[in-house]
Amino acid sequence: MAQMAEKFLLSRLSRVGFVALAIVAALAAFSGDSLTALTAVTAAALVFTGSTFHPRRAEAPWPAVNRLILCGFLALLLSSLWAGPWSLVHWLYLAPLVAFALLPLSWAALVTVVCAFFAMIATHWSAGLPERHQMISAFLLTIMLSALLVFLREYKSRQLAPLRRTDELTQAASREYLSADLHKEIQRSEREGTDMSLIMIGLDTHLSDSDPDADIRSILPRIGRYLHSQLRDFDTYYRVADLQFLIILPGISTAEAAVRADTIRKGLRALLASHGLELTVSAGISGLNIGDDANSMQQSAANALRRAQLQGGNRAQSYSTRSQTAPTPTEPETGGPAA
């Protein structure tokens, strides 16, 4: 909930900033200040192409466009050190914050150093203006504050990393914990002498290239909720790839897991069809055998899923039996989404 609130707030702030910059650009153009108007337009474009303005801006080619516009924005600010106007020079205070927000840490640090270097050169050439010296002092203070904010952000990220066990989009458990969790379940099954199985679910996107990826990703939250509704309280599911999920089923034999996989597969297909996506779903099942570890079980499930998709998709395949456990694609299916 905190992450959702943070994203909502950033989205609203981005839209407000975009409108404010558009107004500044219009006023500057009306007053004949072309450099300020151009800089405001560039800043508005920088906000518009950012991921906080719209979630789909995180997909290619938007990040590259966003960074290209950032370069133009910084160039305009640096040119104002010599050409003016004086009011535009104060915008340079935002450069470190914007750079650290949009660029990797090393690149942001390089951009900040370059901006500070050119600002000091401009001050040296304009030694007769005390305002320039005041500007440099304020700019260096801004850099220090930016560094402090970056340190706090990285510290917070590392402190909270162990608590982020779920994928934001699908609420599936994070892939980083899969091997450790699966190893624990294998040890428990071997200690108690019980069965355990894995199901790897994958959308057969290669069979229907006409469906855009954006439409598929838009219903990933519904897919996550559906998977959650089909599992027991002690089952866990993980998002192992963009359109693939892995489910751990303690105490379930391979044959039982095949039946569950087919039920889930049919329900997911019905869910996709209800959103106008004519996609099929395949599943791979692997059971715990003597000598298996977390990596070998995952690989077995992945191989079973791959075989199911190579056979045309729309089926479930068990790794141990290598036999088809679901009806062929031409047979009617029943079942619908529970979410």
The reported pLDDT for the residue numbered 322 is: 40
Q: Please report how many Cα atoms fall inside a 13 Å half-sphere around the Cα of residue 241, on the Cβ side.
A: 10
The series of mean pLDDT values per 10 residues for the chain, 339 residues long, is 48 82 89 87 87 73 86 85 72 79 80 81 63 71 81 72 62 78 91 92 68 65 88 87 89 92 92 85 91 90 91 85 41 46
The reported pLDDT for the residue numbered 329 is: 43
Whether the CA torsion 122, 127, 133, 135 is positive or negative: it is negative
Report the C-alpha gap between 266 and 314 in whole angstroms: 9
Report the C-alpha gap between 148 and 143 in whole angstroms: 9
What single DSSP character describes residue 313?
S
The reported pLDDT for the residue numbered 126 is: 60
Residue ranges of alpha helices (H) inside the chain are 2-30, 34-48, 62-83, 86-89, 95-102, 105-125, 130-160, 178-192, 213-218, 220-229, 254-274, 294-310
The reported pLDDT for the residue numbered 324 is: 40
Place of tokens 């050439």: 125
Residue 69 in tokens: 């516009």
The reported pLDDT for the residue numbered 2 is: 42
Q: What is the dihedral of CA 40, 105, 135, 25, to 10 degrees?
A: 0
**Cβ(238)–Cβ(172) under 8 Å?**
yes
The reported pLDDT for the residue numbered 206 is: 59
CA 322 to each of CA 45, 255, 303, 318: distance values in angstroms, whole numbers, following the listed order:
54, 12, 10, 5
**Where does residue 47 rank: exposed (0-12), middle (13-18), buried (19+ CB within 10 A)?**
buried
**Where does residue 148 rank: exposed (0-12), middle (13-18), buried (19+ CB within 10 A)?**
exposed
Report the C-alpha gap between 129 and 107 in whole angstroms: 31
Report the C-alpha gap between 109 and 334 in whole angstroms: 57
Nearest in space to 45 (alpha carbons), one of 60, 25, 31:
25
Region 175-318: CATH code: 3.30.70.270
The reported pLDDT for the residue numbered 249 is: 93
Q: Which residues, in sequence order, are CB contacts of 124 under 8 Å at separation 6+?
A: none
The answer to whether the pTM exceeds 0.85 is no
Cis peptide before 85 (omega within 30 of 0): yes
